[in-house]
Every structure is written in C-alpha cells, then in structure tokens.
Structure 1
Amino acid sequence: MLDNSAESGQIALSQTISLIETLTMLDEITQALQQTLDDRRLSRGERRSLSSVIEEANLTDQQRGVVRSTAFDLARKEMTNELEPVPILDWLEDVLRLLQAQTLNSKPGATADACFSPGNACRGKIRSLFRQARKSVDVCVFTITDNSISDEILAAHRRGVTIRIVSDNDKSADRGSDIPLLERLGVPVRMDLTSHHMHHKFAIFDDQILLTGSYNWTISASENNEENLIVTDDPSLVNPFRIEFHKLWQRFAPGR
C-alpha cells in the first residue's frame, strides 16, 4: 500500500504527463493550422486531415477556445501586411466551421441570457462583462455616450485587456460622445468614414462571449428606450460576429 507522499507523487506525475500531452496536442493542431494557412485556402484534403486531427484530439471546451483563439491570432498576424484579407478570412471561417462541428457533437448546449430596458439591466450587464474580461474585448457600436460604460472600458484597458472599437463617424463629433476621449487615452478606434453608417451594436468578450441587441450604449437607451440585449457563449453565434468584426476592422483601417 502506498504512503501518502508516494501517492501524492504519483498524482503529480500523472498530472504532469497529462499537461505535456495536452501541450503537445495543441502544438500539433497549431502547426496543422499554420500549414493550411500558408496557401491562403483550406483545400478539401486539408479540411479532411484537419477535421480528423481535431476529432481525434477530443478537445474540451477550454481547449476548443484555445484553438479558436490560435486560429484568430494566426489570421490576424497574416493580415498585418496583407493587401487582400478576404482569402485569410475565408480560411478562418472554414476552420471555425470544423471546430463548430465538433462542438455540436460534444456539447449539449450553450448558455444565453436576455436583458431589457428602460432600467439598469442592460447597462449593468455591459459593465459587468467589461469587469470580468481578462484578455480582449472587441466593441462594434454606433456610438457611446454613457460615461458609466466608458469608465469600465477605460478601466479594462488600463489593466491590460486589449480593447478595439469600431464605430461610426456620424455621432463621434457630437457633444457627449466618449469615443474621441477613449481614443485619446490609448484605446484603438477605427471609424466608418463613408456616407453610410456602421450601425451594429455588439461586443465580443475574451473571444468567447457575444453581447448584441438593439441597445445603444447611451444614457437615453438605459433611462427611456425600449431596448434589448442578448448574451451568449454559443460558438455558432460568437464566431460569425468575430469574423464580422475582423472584416470591419480591416475595412476601416487607415488608408484603405
């Protein structure tokens, strides 16, 4: 019979081996992703091969999140000096579909929540998600005039969370708009400068949680308007919004 110290040692060894196996598996998937990205397309054979690798890995939810983030990081890196990002975004969509297929086969259901205004429910949900963010928040909204939300954006930025904002120039110069202030304080902002409007109202937190709905990030939306928000971690919804944000971020880059 093993004494406590020997048993603890075996448990620690088992955990170490498991960690090494996980890191090796994720590294193999990363290499496979990079190889399929090299020619800017996911061929039928590459799709089958990558699908097989992902299925055999039997990824946990957390590991799927790591692979999704890795795919976005690879795509973002390739798009830095790419004049035509569309093939890369097409590759990214294909990869996310493969991950989504495994998610549907292994996950019984995603979580979702709904909020309504007038009242503090929508505003409170937005602020709470910014406080909980650990890595990144991508914001795509027509305008921001609610200082309590802007304060949370700035607080997240100052604690090291990567914040990116896509907005519309139509309201950015209005009195009360917080977008120019956030940009001056170091938050990356890109504007739709066309005669049309970037009228989305959504945000993606840590690449895993989507917030979207009719709710404008304004005081009047909280105090007066009939508005709604939904929050979900369902990858079948989160991923298309992530791709849409990347498309807009590229489209509204300076000089394009």
Structure 2
Amino acid sequence: MRLDELESWLTESLEDFKLSHAETLALREILPQLKADETSFIRNKAFALAREPIKQGGDVAIAVLGWLDKIMKTMDTARNAQVVIVNSAHFSPGDDCRRKLLDLCVSARQSLDISVFTISDDRLCDAICSAHQHGVAVRILTDNDKSLDLGSDVEHMAAQGIPVRMDNTEHHMHHKFAIIDRHMLVNGSFNWTRSASDKNHENILVTNEPALVAAYQMEFESLWENFSA
C-alpha cells in the first residue's frame, strides 16, 4: 500500500473512535506486507491523528486512546510474530554438511521435499526413510540417470513407499535442495553422497528466509507436476 492509502485507512478507522474487529483483522493482514518505514509511518500517523481528538477530553479522549491502544497492540503482536531469520553455512570435506542434513531430516514434522541430483549416502537414506515411517510427507525429485548408479538409494526409498519422481529427459535435474516443513530451505553444491562428505569440496546454505523458501517451494511444485512418477 502507498503511504496515502495507509493514511486514508487510519483516518477512516478513527471516524467512529474505535478499532473494530474487522479493522483489527485487516491491520494484521496489512502489517506483514509493509516495509520498516511504512510500519513506522502507521505508528507515527496514528499518534498524529489521535492528538487533536484527545485534546477534547472526556468520552472522546477515552475512546480515541482506546483506538490508539488497539493500534499499538496489534502492531506489537504482529512484530513479535514475525519470523526470526536463521541462516547457517556448512562445508565439506568433513561431516558438517551431512550432520546438518541429518538434523534437518530428523526435525521434519509435516513435510520433507527433496530435490537432489543423486542420493547414495545410506545414513541420509535411513534418515529420510525414518521420517517417512513417522508420518512425514516425504517427496523426492531426482535424475533418472543417477538413480541407476551403483549404490543409489533412490529405488530403495521408492520401495519403502516414498513418492519419487524423476527427470527422464535427455537433460538433467541437477538441483541439490530440500525444504523442511515448508519453512526451512537447504541448498548448495552438496549431492547427498558419501564422496560429497568424505572427499569433495562442497557447501550447503540453510535458511528460513520466507521469500527464498517460497521461491524454492514453487520450483519444487512445478517440477513435481512436470516429471512423471
């Protein structure tokens, strides 16, 4: 919303000297979409609009103070509910990347969407299967060429009942990312293989930044629809 639209919304809300339930819900929906300066504008403008009516005293002042109090409490609640961004970087060779991936698989409670070129590390396979057995909705996107490699765990996971879809074209599904519970993303150069941990120079980045998680979730859903089961 533009600043003039925000000001108009506040002005109309103040006309009856109360913040209705519908207006409270509308404000809750608006706030997460605003930039920091727009949020500050609402706070400052609310105080500015309330200043003159409060000077009248009496019932009007009490009502306007109640309106202002509700505005501030709604804003504080929305601010406290905002996601705390968590980022971490991990590197191999060594066990750092694999250990983080294992932790993420174990942490999954609702869904685990994996889009990885090749999966052949039995420890990661076991963690994925365990999540599936505990009721987590696991989906795997991978490449048909790598699924036939010696040591690939893809057929084993499919046999456990985990939905698997592959890129069967002449090209490759070369992604290496996963989304945990639709709010945590892991992405990087790291294939889910033993050699990636033990020998290769690889990396993963883990983040819950909403825009990034949403972008990768959209990519996953698009590929899931396009690839055959």
Measured against the shorter chain, the TM-score band is 0.5 to 0.7
Are 1:54 and 1:99, in contact at CA under 8 Å, matched by a contact in 2? Answer: no
Which of 26, 42, 48 is residue 56 of structure 1 equivalent to? 26
Report the equivalent of 2:164: 189
Q: Which residue of 1 aligns with 2:212?
A: 237
SS in 2 for 1:216: coil
Report if aligned partners of 2:167, 2:228 keep a CA contact under 8 Å in 1. Answer: no
Distance in 2, Cα, partners of 1:165 & 1:99: 35
Q: 2:33 aligns with which of 91, 101, 120?
A: 101
Amino acid at match of 1:149: L
- TM superposition shift of 1:57: 5.2
Give the Å deviation of 1:236. 1.3
> Deviation per CA, 1:157-216, whole angstroms, max 9, x where unpaired?
000000000000011011100001000110000000000000000000000000000011
Q: Match for 1:172 among 147, 158, 166?
A: 147
Q: Does 1:199 align with 2:174?
A: yes
Q: Deviations over 1:2-44 (max 9, x none)?
A: xxxxxxxxxxxxxxxxxxxxxxxxxxxxxxxxxxxxxxxxxxx
Query: What is aligned with 2:5?
Result: none
Instruction: Report the structure number with the largest CA radius of gyration.
Output: 2
CA apart distance, 1:110: 1.4
What is the alpha-carbon distance in structure 1 between the residues aligned to residue 153 and residue 23 of structure 2? 46
Go from structure 1 to structure 2 and tell me whether the alpha carbon gap of 1:113 and 1:103 turns closer, same or farther (over 3 Å shift): farther
Segments of structure 2 that go 5 or more residues without pairing to the other structure are: 1-21, 40-78
Name the CA distance, whole Å, in 1 between partners of 2:123 and 2:228: 28
1:53 deviation in Å? 8.6
For the pair 1:225 / 2:200, whether they are aligned, the reply is yes
Q: Contact (CA 8 Å) 1:141, 1:216: kept in 2 or not? A: yes
Report the equivalent of 1:22: none
Structure 2 counterpart SS, 1:195? coil
In the superposition, relative to structure 1, how do residues 225 and 99 fare at CA in structure 2: closer, same or farther (>3 Å)?
Answer: farther
The partner residue of 1:136 within 100, 104, 111 is 111
TM-score (ref. length: structure 1): 0.60
The secondary structure found in structure 2 opposite 1:175 is: coil
1:160 corresponds, among 126, 130, 135, to 135
Identify the match of residue 117 of structure 1 among 71, 78, 92.
Answer: 92
TM-score (norm 2): 0.67
| CA shift for structure 1 position 56 | 2.2
Give, in whole Å, the separation in 1 of the partners of 2:226 and 2:32: 26
Give the count of matched residue pairs: 165
- The residue identity in structure 2 corresponding to 1:163 is V
Cα distance change on mapping 1:129 and 1:195 into 2, 3 Å: same
Structure 1, unaligned stretches of length 5 or more?
1-51, 60-97
Taking the aligned partners of 2:84 and 2:138, their CA distance within structure 1 comes to: 29
* Aligned CA distance change for structure 1 residues 108 and 252 (closer, same or farther; 3 Å): closer
Equivalence map 1:4-153=2 (5 Å): 56=26, 58=28, 101-102=33-34, 106=79, 107=82, 110-153=85-128
Q: What percentage of residue pairs aligned between the two structures are identical?
A: 45
Q: Is the CA contact 1:149–1:217 (under 8 Å) kept in the aligned structure 2? A: yes
How far off its partner does 1:108 sit? 7.9
Contact 1:100 1:235 in 2 (8 A): no
Question: 1:58 is paired with a residue of what secondary structure?
Answer: helix
Q: Do the aligned partners of 1:123 and 1:222 also contact (CA within 8 Å) in 2?
A: yes
2:104–2:180 contact (8 Å) kept in structure 1:
yes
Matched residue type, 1:243: M
SS at match of 1:220: helix
